[in-house]
Amino acid sequence: MIFEILNQNIPFILILDININNLSKEGKLFVKTLKKNKLFFDNHEDAIKFLNKTSSFDKWWNDNNHQKAMDRIRKKYARISKNYINEWIKFYIS
């Protein structure tokens, strides 16, 4: 579901109490990237602090730097391609 939200560019934050040590290397990197961009919080207290500090959620979400970061996240983790069939074929053949 998170990847669909990323591709739709729908504003969101995640609040999850997870043990990052149980994640794969790629999963850990994904969580760190989300944390860096204030999209992932380990606890509700930190999320509340962020939301209270943010004067406008829409302004934060649509900020040029934030959208560039979102583009990088989408490209790495949730990329959609019009040529996906050929890309999957190449992936499985190689």
* Identity of residue 94: S
- Domain span at residue 51 reads 2-93
**Mean pLDDT, the chain, integer:** 87
State how far the alpha carbon of 4 is from the alpha carbons of 53, 79, 94, in Å: 27, 10, 27
Reported as a pLDDT band with limits 50, 70 and 90, residue 1 is confident
CA gap 19, 33 in Å, rounded: 16
CA gap 64, 21 in Å, rounded: 32
CA gap 55, 51 in Å, rounded: 8
Number of folded domains that form the chain: 1
Greater pLDDT, 94 or 9: 9
Reported as a pLDDT band with limits 50, 70 and 90, residue 75 is confident
Q: Does the pLDDT of residue 81 top 80, yes or no?
A: no
Considering the entire predicted model, what is its pTM? Answer: 0.74
